[in-house]
Amino acid sequence: MNTETNACSADPKCNRPKSFFKKNMKCYNMRMKQVIVAIVGRPSSGKSTFVNTITENKVSIVSSVPQSTLSMVKGIYENSDKRFVFLDTPGLYDSNVEFNKLLRKQSLNAIRECDCLLYMIDGKDKIKAEEEKAAFYVRTSGKPAVVLINKSDLLGDGDEKRVRSFLTSALKDCNQIHVGSAKNDEGLDDVLRALAEYAKEIESPNQNQNREDENPLPEFTESPVEFRISETIREAAFGNLMEEIPHAICVICDDMSEREGTVTIKATIYCERESQKGIIIGKAGNMIKKIKNSSIKGLKSIFPGRYVEIELTVKVKKDWKRDKRILTKLGLIS
């Protein structure tokens, strides 16, 4: 089976195959190997950036605000005979706050579900107790691990040596340590090759595809479209509000409809206090307009070629982090 190679914009020398099968390419009665990879690490280590870079699609939101990933997100990358299912998880850290316990549970569930781990560590950060705890979870998981020392483009003299020294002590049995940049797509092919060692043979996901369907949709995530809409709006809110309201908000997609090429979305931004609601709306509604416009730009990748209309409502719900309906919508409880 032939694949189309992709010259990554960040690295013209990158020959990694495209992240989904080429349009009109029929893949019937084919067997392939799959590996389920739980991506773990401290908040802001670059896990979501890695998934987006590998899949060449917006699967997970990326923000300078730590712990922006709330629930486990699946990103899928396929080449000619391998299928990688990446489980992007909230950052691993200990907390006695009930909501944070739910986030940690997402990561631990991914560890149980996976074939192997990709432990990402920010090469620029100093090694703190949080990093030692993340390494502890990796060491005691019972799963094989591949390590990526991330942000190689920012590493200074001695940074790599310092991190390798920590890893040698914390993960004595791990001999798969790589250095690269998820943001710039550097060194990631070596990581994929290492992860592929743990792949198991499965039936191709296209095995039962209708032979008359010559234009299968690309598969790069299993997340429902409503979830992706909510996350896109939340990312837009983070980008415009910066760190004024770091973790006090969530977004729920209430309704989505499409008619004659126009996608209409109704969504609610929940916050914890009236003062936060005022900041989100902004003077004369200027901030909510910015969030809406940024959301529409982000949603173009989900609804290419269609006009997107968004109706945003801001509501105060002090205890949204304990609301079962909201937590279920966020994928934190079932």
Residue 269 placed within a domain: yes
pLDDT band for position 9 (50/70/90)? very low
**In the predicted structure, residue 25 carries a pLDDT above the cut 80:** no
pLDDT band for position 98 (50/70/90)? confident
Range from 3-7, 57-61, 96-100 carrying the lowest mean pLDDT: 3-7
Residue 70: its pLDDT value, please?
A: 80
Range from 18-32, 71-85, 179-193 carrying the lowest mean pLDDT: 18-32
% residues pLDDT > 90 (the chain): 59
Identify whether residues 253 and 324 lie together within a single domain: yes
Query: pLDDT for 265-318, tens place per residue?
Result: 999 999 999 999 999 999 999 999 999 999 999 999 899 999 999 999 999 999
Residue 159: its pLDDT value, please?
A: 94
**Alpha carbon 79 to its chain's center:** 19
| Span 113-135, average pLDDT | 93
Identify whether residues 191 and 247 lie together within a single domain: no
Q: Which residue has the tokens 């809406």?
A: 292
Identify whether residues 176 and 309 lie together within a single domain: no
Residue 229 placed within a domain: yes
Residue 9 placed within a domain: no
Residue 81 placed within a domain: yes
**In the predicted structure, residue 3 carries a pLDDT above the cut 80:** no
Q: What's the length of the chain?
A: 334
Residue 44: enclosing H or E segment and its boundaries? Answer: none
Q: How far apart are the first and last CA of the chain?
A: 40
pLDDT band for position 28 (50/70/90)? very low
Burial class of residue 219 in the structure, from the number of CB atoms within 10 Å of its CB (0-12 exposed, 13-18 middle, 19+ buried): middle
**In the predicted structure, residue 331 carries a pLDDT above the cut 90:** no
Q: Minimal CA–CA distance to 164: which of 178, 182, 185, 181?
A: 178
Query: pLDDT for 194-206, tens place per residue?
Result: 999 999 998 766 5
What is the β-pairing status of strands 145-150 and 116-122? parallel
With the C-alpha atoms ordered 317, 320, 324, 325, is the resulting torsion angle positive or negative? positive
Mean pLDDT of the chain: 84
Q: Which residues contact 163 (CB under 8 A, 6 or more apart)?
A: 121, 123, 127, 149
Residue 199 placed within a domain: yes
Residues facing residue 84 across a β-bridge = 35, 77
What is the β-pairing status of strands 31-40 and 116-122? parallel
Distances (CA, A) of 189 to 14, 33, 176: 8, 17, 13
Identify whether residues 76 and 184 lie together within a single domain: yes
**In the predicted structure, residue 15 carries a pLDDT above the cut 80:** no
Residue 3 placed within a domain: no
Residue 212 placed within a domain: no
Identify whether residues 198 and 232 lie together within a single domain: no
Residue 204: its pLDDT value, please?
A: 64
| Domain boundaries, position 45 | 31-203
Identify whether residues 277 and 322 lie together within a single domain: yes
Identify whether residues 101 and 49 lie together within a single domain: yes
Indicate the number of domains in the chain.
Answer: 2
Task: Give the span between the Cα atoms of 326 and 323, in whole angstroms.
Answer: 5
Which amino acid is residue 80, in one-letter code?
Answer: S
Identify whether residues 55 and 120 lie together within a single domain: yes
Residue that wins the pLDDT comparison between 154 and 215: 154
What is the β-pairing status of strands 82-88 and 73-78? antiparallel
What is the CA angle 327-251-105, rounded to 5? Answer: 35
- Name all contacts of 274-281 with Cβ < 8 Å and 24+ positions apart: 274/316, 276/245, 276/248, 276/249, 276/316, 277/314, 277/315, 277/316, 279/241, 279/244, 279/245, 280/237, 280/241, 280/245, 280/249, 280/314, 281/314
